[in-house]
Amino acid sequence: MSSSNTQPGAAARSGAAAGQHLVDHRRLGRDLELFTTSELVGAGLPLWLPKGSAVRDALAGYIVDLERRAGYAHVHTPALARPELYQRSGHLAHYRDDMFAPVGSGNEELVLRPMSCPHHALVFAARGRSWRELPLRIAELATLYRDERSGVVGGLSRVRAMTLNDGHIFCAPEQLSDEIAAAVDLIENAYAVLGITEYGYRLSLRGEGGKYVPDDSMWERAESQLREVLDRRGATYEQAQGEAAFYGPKLDVQVQDHRGREETLSTVQVDFHLPVALGLHYAGRDGVAATPVVVHRGVVSTMERMVAHLIEIHAGAFPVWLAPVQVAVLPVAEEHDRYARGVARHLLSAGLRAEVDAGERTVAARVRTAVASKVPYVAVVGDRETRDGLFGLRLRDGRRWGPSDVSALTALVARVAGDRSAGLLPDEVSASARVVKR
Ligand code: TSB
Ligand code: ZN
């Protein structure tokens, strides 16, 4: 696997060799109360706790906003469909092993979808389309179900019910390479904001056997389009036979987990098959009906796999905008509770995530808990703070900022979160003398 290989000729080196020591997200997920599992629910079916859900919702909000700005239209489609849809799309012939058995409802059978592409194709086909509407970019945070073997599921990274940051671009053949490149740009932008620096590209090609739709010329065209985009960027990439989707080759973004095992995070896939299988058409410039090409892409993967990876690379110390609790407010004694709650309410009403820890334990013990939970900012309020209305923040990295009034502190945290900055203080504040090392 190569590292940050957007640079031409970047040396192939593994994330582990580059010095990344990742922590098992399952352990951190439990310790930080992000998610849990229950035998009563089943293997590969994690329950997101409030703190994990806060991280996930921040991620989802970010990616939906990024897509909207990139010209995507978001839809909502059901996680069920009649088997006939998956018969026609080819999933039942080529992807059945990964699908749950149909569920009955009276005398009608329905399948839990393993992918949302057929549904999005029907969004395309909701009415006649013209070449003027292309590329039509349809996106959804799509809930999918895959019957992964219970032996291979674990934590959040491989699950059986998942929500994919999914999107399908319906375009004319001559728009294909620009759309692939734009999807790769979105991935690189998102990785920069999420703090993902160790990754490599993989061109996933078909292998032997009947897993793949036949039609050699289609596979060759799709593969050469992906190669052209990678080459144009000067990116290095690995190739893997037998890792394609059944409908076409993929440009996969590979990362490593805490065990050094490689997994696919983002993906961009070229598909000439689905539009034919579902009879998609648009009126071409010359008035003649033409068949679109589909680009399938997942920018930040499934919420499950991406949050697992973010937990591991940040060791639970998420950037402020993703942190489940952004500010912990600790009253020194009972008489400071009211004031502390007012501070938290002020932060909450500014859209921030704040929590009051007014437990029995000493302030020092509660500070230690907040630090162990990787909370970016801790505000301790005692006599002086309550009297003057001025207080300081202890930063996760050991620095301090303040004292200042609640409005200024709220504005500071809101700005760091709103900018989705990697750091804990805006640059010009960070440089100021009011920041002292502990
Ligand atoms: C991108 N039809 C395409 C879609 O339009 C698709 O479903 N591709 S996929 O099968 O490759 O899945 C997309 C991404 O979902 C993968 O790259 C991977 O990051 C993630 N994913 C796949 N299976 C699981 C799983 N069992 N648990 C968590 N995430 C998964
Ligand atoms: Zn798809």
Q: 310 and 353: one domain?
A: no
* CATH code for the domain of 158: 3.30.930.10
324: cis peptide before it, omega within 30°?
no
413 & 375 share domain:
yes
Which pLDDT score, from 0 to 100, does residue 130 have? Answer: 98
CA 116 to ligand 2 centroid distance, Å: 6
245 in a structural domain = yes
Backbone angles phi, psi at 310, to 5 degrees: -65, -40
**DSSP of 270-309:** EESHHHHHTT--EE-TTS-EE--EEEEEEEEEEHHHHHHH
Residues 130 and 160 in one domain: yes
Domain that holds residue 81: 3-314
Report strand pairing: 327-331 vs 354-356: parallel
CA of 162 to the centre of ligand 1 (A): 9
What is the CA 363 to chain-centroid distance, rounded? 36
| pLDDT attached to residue 151 | 79
Strand arrangement, sheet containing 80-81: 80-81, 108-112, 103-105
Q: Residue 18: inside a domain, yes or no?
A: yes
Q: Does any domain span residue 320?
A: no
| Ligand positioned closest to the Cα atom of 121 | 2
Same domain for 98 and 179: yes
The percent of residues in the chain predicted with pLDDT above 90, rounded, is 88
Q: Are residues 151 and 229 in the same domain?
A: yes
**Contact (CB, 8 A) for 109 and 80:** no
Residue 332 and residue 310 in one domain:
no
Distance separating alpha carbons of residues 74 and 166, to the nearest angstrom: 10
Examine the pLDDT at 180 and tell me if it is beyond 70.
yes
Question: Is 304 inside any structural domain?
Answer: yes
Tell me, what's the pLDDT at 436? 53
Answer positive or negative: Cα dihedral of 92, 96, 100, 106.
positive
pLDDT band at 11 (very low <50, low <70, confident <90, very high): very low
Q: Please report, rounded to a whole number, the percentage of residues in the chain having pLDDT higher than 70.
A: 94
Would 321 be classed as within a structural domain? no
Is the pLDDT assigned to residue 179 strictly greater than 70? yes
- Asked if 287 and 391 sit in the same domain, the reply is no
**Tokens 């009906």 — which residue?**
289
pLDDT digits 0-9 by tens, 361-402: 999 999 999 999 999 999 999 999 999 999 899 999 999 998
Domain co-membership, 82 together with 135: yes
Q: What is the pLDDT of residue 135?
A: 98
- Over residues 233-269, the pLDDT tens digits come to 999 999 999 999 999 999 999 999 999 999 999 999 9
Ligand 1 atom nearest to 153, measured from its CA: 26
The secondary structure of residue 243, as a DSSP letter, is -
Cβ atoms of 408 and 415 closer than 8 Å:
no
| Ligand 1 atom index nearest CA of 269 | 1
| Last-in-domain residue among 314, 345, 373 | 314
> Which residue do the tokens 């793949």 mark?
212
Examine residue 155 and state whether it is found in any structural domain, yes or no: yes
Q: 157 CA to middle of ligand 1, Å?
A: 11
Per mean pLDDT, which range of 147-151, 199-203, 362-366, 391-395 is the poorest?
147-151
Let me know whether 240 and 286 are in one domain: yes
Better-predicted residue by pLDDT, 342 or 427 = 342
Residue pLDDT, tens place only, 132-141: 999 999 999 9
Cβ distance 205 to 223 under 8 Å? yes
In this prediction, residue 13 carries a pLDDT of 36
Tell me which of 288, 314, 340 is where a domain ends: 314
Residue 412 falls within a domain, yes or no? yes
Q: How far is the CA of 73 from the centre of ligand 1 (A)?
A: 20
Same-domain check for residues 275 and 297:
yes
What is the CATH number for 369?
3.40.50.800
Query: From the CA of 141, how far away is ligand 1's center (Å)?
Result: 12
Report the candidate in 413, 373, 374 with the shortest Cα–Cα distance to residue 393: 413
Which ligand approaches the C-alpha of residue 243 most closely? 1
Weakest mean pLDDT among 90-99, 338-347, 426-435: 426-435
pLDDT score of 424: 96
Run of H or E residues at 157: none
Q: Are strands 289-290 and 282-283 parallel, antiparallel or unpaired?
A: antiparallel
Q: At what angle do helices 176-194 and 50-69 cross, to 10 degrees?
A: 140
Say yes or no to pLDDT of 121 above 70: yes
Q: Confirm whether 244 is domain-assigned.
A: yes
Pairing of strands 103-105, 108-112: antiparallel
Q: Are residues 142 and 274 in the same domain?
A: yes
How many independent structural domains does the chain possess? Answer: 2
Single out the residue in 289, 314, 339 at which a domain terminates: 314
Please tell me whether residues 96 and 35 are part of one structural domain. Answer: yes
Ligand 1 binding pocket (C-beta < 6 A) is: 115, 117, 146, 148, 158-159, 162, 164, 166, 168, 264-265, 267, 296-298, 301-302, 304-305
Which amino acid, residue 412? L
